[in-house]
Amino acid sequence: MKKSLAPNHFISIAHLTDTHLFAESDRLLVGIPTDGSFKAVLAEVKQTLPNVDLLLLTGDLSQDGSVESYQRMRNILDSYQIPAYCLAGNHDNLAVMQKHLPSEYVSLARSLNIGNWKIILLNSVVTQAVEGYLAKSELIWLEEQLNSERDRPTLIAFHHPAVAIGSPWMDSICLTNQDQFWETGDRHPQIKIVINGHAHQDFDQIHQTLHDSVRCLVSPSTCVQFRPQTPTFQVDELAPAFRHLRLYADGSIHTEIHRLKSGQFSPDLQAAKYNND
Ligand SMILES: [Fe+2]
């Protein structure tokens, strides 16, 4: 995407993740209609960020990997006419997603340049596994991408968190080769942001590399939230949300969480036996 960027201007990105749509539009996940909460979050994006440049969706787009879930997501995203870049999570069916999700507005492209920035989307999914892993081929491709444009501030996105987030149960199902990923990070100081989904919560921490620091972000889900800093899985009562990112021409960043009003989509705590598999 070509967009010239004055030094004091920024790229505006809405990060939406873990939408968990079902084949049926009225099905609930822990008491929350995932179709309805996704639409409500998108409406909030449109209302609060009328000039947003793109949407970034980082996996678990579907709960069941169904054709219907991806077709409905495509239709919903197309209706907003905002470029949307998507990658897969452990709940997704990548083959079905590749066939039924792309459209004029919805892309599965793995890298793009926008303004002064480079955005790279990686696949951290392991077939039949909840935890994530970046295959050797993925790391080699990442290295090539980073070597090709060393001067562009870069955001890297994939599904599974790249650092421990402080909940042992979740940390055991994050990216299992974090060290290998950060070896690449050590060689490329242009990496400014690593952003992930999977953990259904707001997380914001600096990771120190050899030469620089990287902002590690995880964003809340557009449906059910997980309580942070817990030894075992717990549902959080916080409302669905998205993250707004402003990426400035000089590589600096501003980010904040936009959450729906509480009470509109409340989880059913009695039904909270969701075990994240
Ligand atoms: Fe998820």
Q: What is the CATH number of the domain that holds 203?
A: 3.60.21.10
- Does residue 56 lie in a domain region? yes
CA of 39 to the centre of ligand 1 (A): 17
- Does residue 2 lie in a domain region? no
- The residue-averaged pLDDT of 242-248 equals 98
The Cα–Cα gap between 157 and 149 comes to: 17
**Domain region containing 151:** 11-271
Q: Which pLDDT score, from 0 to 100, does residue 271 have?
A: 73
Average model confidence (pLDDT) across the chain: 95
CA of 253 to the centre of ligand 1 (A): 25
- Does residue 47 lie in a domain region? yes
Residue 21 has pLDDT above 80, yes or no: yes
CA of 5 to the centre of ligand 1 (A): 34
CA of 204 to the centre of ligand 1 (A): 18
Strand stretches in the chain, DSSP E = 10-16, 28-29, 32-33, 54-58, 84-87, 106-107, 111-114, 117-121, 154-157, 191-196, 203-208, 213-218, 225-226, 235-236, 241-248, 253-259
- Per the structure, how many domains does the chain have? 1
Whole-model pTM over 0.85? yes
Give 2's pLDDT tier (boundaries 50, 70, 90): low
Summarised one tens digit per residue, pLDDT across range 59-94 is 999 999 999 999 999 999 999 999 999 999 999 999
- Does residue 1 lie in a domain region? no
- Does residue 3 lie in a domain region? no
CB 156 within 8 A of CB 142: yes
CA of 58 to the centre of ligand 1 (A): 9
CA of 143 to the centre of ligand 1 (A): 27
- The residue-averaged pLDDT of 98-108 equals 98
Q: Which pLDDT score, from 0 to 100, does residue 81 have?
A: 96
- Does residue 6 lie in a domain region? no
Residue 97 has pLDDT above 70, yes or no: yes
CA of 130 to the centre of ligand 1 (A): 10
Contacts of 37 (CB under 8 A, 6+ apart): 222, 223, 240, 260, 265
The Cα–Cα gap between 199 and 165 comes to: 9
Residue 277 has pLDDT above 50, yes or no: no
Q: Which residue has the tokens 């994240």?
A: 276
